[in-house]
Amino acid sequence: MKKGNAWALLPIGVFLVVFIGSGILFQDFYAMPAIVGFLIALVVAFLQNPKRKFDEKLQSVTESMGDANVMIMCLVFVLAGGFSGAVQAAGGVDSTVNFGLSIMPPAVAVAGLFVIGCFISTAMGTSVGTIAALTPIAVGISEKTGMAGALCIGAVVSGAMFGDNLSVISDTTIAATRTQGCDMNDKFRENFKIVLPAAIITLVLFLVIASGSQYSVSDDLSYNVFKILPYLVVLVGALAGMNVFLVLVLGIILSVIVGVSTGSIAWNQIFTVIFQGPDGAGGIKNMYDITVISIVVAGIIGLVKANGGIDFILEGIKKHVHTNRGAQLGIALLSSLVDISTANNTIAIVMAGPIARDISQEYGISPRRTASLLDIYTSVWQGLIPYGAQLLYACAGAAAVGLTLTPLDLLPYLFYPILMGISGIVFILFSGRPKKEKPSA
């Protein structure tokens, strides 16, 4: 390992200062598009190390951008976006939500919201989409049962973060597995056994707190099981070990068939919904930002690594960490800090992933364990930070149907993100050392 250089980390520091600074200055952490902040960081990276020729720096950047895992990740992002757009247009989201509400017993209303949130977010691969779909329903249940609105929406957010972390088509799972070079189904199995205790305890808490509540939904809860089929096929196919590209292509084709046969998608709109979804803001189009960001971040990390930044981090870890478990805790801390700084768990994984991979190789941590830790701890904080998209969307959705809440009102009821973090630490400290497997191509 060559000599580390702390100054090589300056581009990452510049991004965090610019991004967080603009959020504080404008009182809006989305005032500056993340890609603009990363482009500024890339310029700073190019200005460093004047002894190297510009062409040599450009070579480091493009080689890192063109890494096979980066390109595969971007392709999966595109296909996942296409599937999301097509299945939403086919009516899959509405049918899935209505199906869950139809079979949910009235006595377990709040716990039922958590379970439905888990299922929908795992099927859809998006926490924000799940929150948008279920928050109005959660407010209605609150009004009819007398349960606190923050409690009901807290159950929705908790369920949404379950699937955001676990779903095989979530952009966080895609980023975590590709940066570590492991299979999605291996990561799912590793991840699931870590978070299962947290999910069970969360369910019990919601059952106890809201026991005896009664409600009725007067809205139309009609659903079509045929429209839920694409979600089930993608989920089962991915967990069975089917190639993710084939799974997503099959999901897109099946969604189109379902949509056209049920009249939800017109023949002349087939390709449009794949590109931009039913509302013009989803589908492949919705993946543009994260795809470009992933490529630019890979370029920045390439220069940071070439200038000794990654080696500096590894040297620092070696001074304080001497065991496999210590390194796992270090990866959890790294993931947490980057997500708190960026307020975006996918971007946090893309940034921290290459560093985590070097740490895991140094200390013999399996790629599936590293991918799980990256995804878990970015999801933990994404479900808790008041300026993150998840809590902001939840409060906005509640306000749209007449309930005024702040993200701080939700924090006492966000049981799952908190328990997920605790479960991860317990698993690191008391589980056996995972077997080290070869990274997948």
pTM for the whole thing? 0.75
Give pLDDT, residue 315. 78
pLDDT cut 90: percent of the chain above it: 36
In this predicted structure, the answer to whether residue 21 has a pLDDT above a threshold of 90 is no
Give pLDDT, residue 219. 66
pLDDT level of residue 190 (50, 70, 90 thresholds):
very high
Half-sphere exposure of 256 (CA within 13 A, CB side): 17
Residues 365-387 have a mean pLDDT of 93
Counting every residue written for the chain, the total comes to 441
DSSP codes, 272-290: HHHHHTTTSSSGGGGGHHH
In the chain, the amino acid numbered 203 is L
In this predicted structure, the answer to whether residue 28 has a pLDDT above a threshold of 80 is no
**pLDDT, tens digit, for every residue of 154-180?**
999 999 999 989 988 888 999 999 999
Residues 348-373 have a mean pLDDT of 91
pLDDT level of residue 425 (50, 70, 90 thresholds):
very high
pLDDT cut 70: percent of the chain above it: 93
Give pLDDT, residue 357. 92
Top pLDDT among 302 and 141 is at: 302
Contact by Cβ (8 Å): 217, 136: no
pLDDT level of residue 212 (50, 70, 90 thresholds):
low
